[in-house]
């Protein structure tokens, strides 16, 4: 019996079938990896189920360059104060540990690390989890760090009634957070010396400032609130900016405590081109030495404090006008609060800047009602 013959296809149909087929597996491995690098973590895992060759590709450390604990797949976006059930939190915590194991098993070579964990949490030990991750992946080339070490995403709110000793317990918790943060920062200085972009909450202690200044490759830095009652001394701020020679962009979230009203700050840097202090409250500059600065954002925020006129004028009289500070210390300034300045702004007394200064300057000339 003659073997069964395959039906013949028209030449045009055969050409169409060949044209529709793209030989992905015939590409060089580096090209295949480059294509797969555009996928997120979930899609990469789906690709690993296609075939054995794709599974081997997805296991490559070159595809695992980002450790993003804020990307939770099916979990909704967490926010501070969000009501979360214990069951949902346990699911998320399980996901965190599986995700960490996954990155370690892939021998990830990290470029970016994003996380939000309460490092002072002795129960869940998030600090140990991050340390374990850094110990078991390649992080020498880590360049971007986005870390909130004061708050754990999707953690259920504590609705218990606190006793009078709760303030003392809060202080202990804050100290645990700071100690764990400093331990992690110390590890990062040794394991990840090439970090160029950093966004984190900061406690402004001498130890933390000393550790932060060791990241000599920093180009973009954003320091957020840690504890509103923690003040920042002028010398500490000046030491930080002078010790980072490659810093190009600096964003500061500083709340000057009431006991420090009247204090002004000096900022000095040869490299800073962008400075944003608009999230800060009560931060007043007496001197700026920023020869490379091109853009500044500053905002005057009402503090809700009631002072008599004599006390208010005594405090305000200590502060120079922002216009004079900028004219003397920022020769390349081009933009103020998103407003493009004319090249002749230094030759005019306020001029076009009057409206902008009313919103950003704390001096007597431009300040009449910031203390209510």
Query: pLDDT per residue over 88-105, tens digit each?
Result: 888 888 989 998 998 898
With 0.85 as the threshold, say if the pTM is over it.
Answer: no
Determine contact, residues 173/102, Cβ cutoff 8 Å: no
Q: pLDDT exceeding 70 applies to what percent of the chain?
A: 78
Write the pLDDT tens digit of every residue in 252-296: 999 887 777 778 899 999 999 999 999 998 888 989 999 999 999
Sort residue 350 into left (φ over 0), alpha (ψ -120 to 50) or beta.
Answer: left
Cα separation, 335 vs 345, whole angstroms: 11
CATH 3.80.10 boundaries in the chain: 62-72+85-160+172-359
State how far the Cα of 66 lies from the Cα of 99, in Å rounded to an integer.
11
Among residues 201, 331, 320, 217, the alpha carbon closest in space to that of 262 is found at 320
CATH class of this structure's domain 62-72+85-160+172-359: alpha beta
- Give the model's confidence band at 371: pLDDT under 50 very low, under 70 low, under 90 confident, else very high: very low
Per mean pLDDT, which of 56-60, 82-86, 208-212, 262-266 is the most reliable? 208-212
For range 177-206, the mean pLDDT: 94
Q: Report residue 180 as tokens.
A: 């764990």
As a whole number of angstroms, the distance between CA 174 and CA 168 comes to 10
Taking the C-alpha atoms of residue 319 and residue 362, their distance in angstroms, rounded to an integer, is 7
Asked if the model's pLDDT at residue 194 lies above 60, the reply is yes
pLDDT given at position 4 = 59
Assess whether pLDDT exceeds 50 at residue 127: yes
**Which secondary-structure segment (H or E) carries 336?**
strand 335-336
Query: How many C-alpha atoms does 73 have within 13 Å on its Cβ side?
Result: 12
Residue corresponding to tokens 């004219």 = 327
Which of the four pLDDT bands, split at 50, 70 and 90, describes residue 77?
very low
Question: Which of 31-35, 341-345, 366-370 has the least mean pLDDT?
Answer: 366-370
So what CATH class is 25-61?
A: mainly alpha
CA dist., res. 110 & res. 59, Å (int): 14
**Confidence band, pLDDT 50/70/90 cuts, at residue 211:** very high
Place of tokens 């200044």: 213
Alpha-carbon distance of 344 to 340, in angstroms, equals: 12
The pLDDT of residue 73: 47
Q: What is the widest separation between alpha-carbon atoms in the chain?
A: 114
- Helix or strand holding residue 30 (H, E): helix 29-36
Q: How confident is the model at residue 334 (pLDDT cuts 50, 70, 90)?
A: very high
Domain with CATH 1.20.1280 in the chain: 25-61
Q: What's the half-sphere exposure (Cβ side, CA atoms, 13 Å) at 216?
A: 2
Angle formed by the axes of helices 126-136 and 86-105, to 10°?
20
**Residue with more model confidence, 304 or 289:** 289
The number of residues making up the chain comes to 372
pLDDT at 78 (0 to 100)? 44
What does the alpha-carbon distance between residue 346 and residue 39 come to, in Å, rounded to a whole number? 50
- The vertex-263 CA angle with 322 and 170, nearest 5°, equals 125
């Amino acid at each position: 019996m003659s073997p069964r013959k395959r039906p013949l296809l028209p030449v045009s149909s055969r050409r169409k079938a060949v044209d529709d087929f793209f030989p992905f597996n015939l590409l060089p491995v580096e090209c295949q990896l480059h294509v797969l690098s555009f996928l997120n973590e979930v899609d990469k895992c789906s690709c690993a189920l296609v075939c054995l060759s794709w599974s081997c590709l997805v296991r490559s450390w070159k595809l695992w360059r980002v450790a993003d604990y804020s990307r939770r797949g099916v979990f909704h976006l967490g926010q501070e104060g969000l009501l979360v059930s214990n069951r949902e939190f346990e699911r998320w915590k399980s996901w965190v540990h599986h995700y960490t194991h996954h990155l370690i098993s892939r021998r990830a070579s990290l470029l970016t690390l994003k996380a939000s964990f309460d490092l002072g949490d002795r129960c869940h030990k998030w600090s140990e989890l991050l340390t374990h991750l850094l110990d078991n992946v390649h992080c020498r080339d880590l360049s971007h760090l986005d870390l909130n070490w004061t708050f754990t995403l999707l953690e259920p709110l504590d609705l218990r009634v606190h006793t009078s000793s709760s303030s003392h317990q809060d202080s202990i918790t804050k100290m645990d957070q700071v100690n764990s943060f400093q331990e992690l920062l110390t590890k990062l200085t040794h394991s990840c010396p090439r970090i160029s972009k950093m966004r984190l909450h900061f406690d402004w202690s001498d130890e933390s400032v000393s550790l932060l200044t060791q990241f000599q490759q920093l180009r973009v830095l954003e320091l957020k609130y840690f504890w509103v009652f923690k003040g920042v001394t002028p010398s500490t701020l000046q030491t930080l900016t002078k010790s980072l020679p490659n810093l190009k962009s600096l964003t500061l979230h500083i709340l000057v405590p009431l006991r420090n009203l009247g204090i002004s700050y000096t900022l000095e840097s040869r490299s800073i081109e962008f400075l944003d202090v608009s999230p800060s409250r009560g931060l007043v500059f007496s001197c700026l030495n920023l020869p490379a600065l091109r853009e500044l954002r500053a905002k005057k925020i009402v503090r809700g404090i009631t002072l008599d006129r004599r006390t208010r004028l005594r405090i305000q009289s200590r502060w120079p006008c922002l216009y004079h500070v900028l004219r003397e210390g920022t020769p390349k300034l081009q933009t103020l609060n998103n407003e493009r300045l004319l090249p002749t702004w230094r030759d005019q007394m306020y001029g076009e800047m009057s409206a902008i200064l009313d919103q950003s300057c704390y001096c007597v000339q431009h300040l009449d009602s910031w203390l209510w």
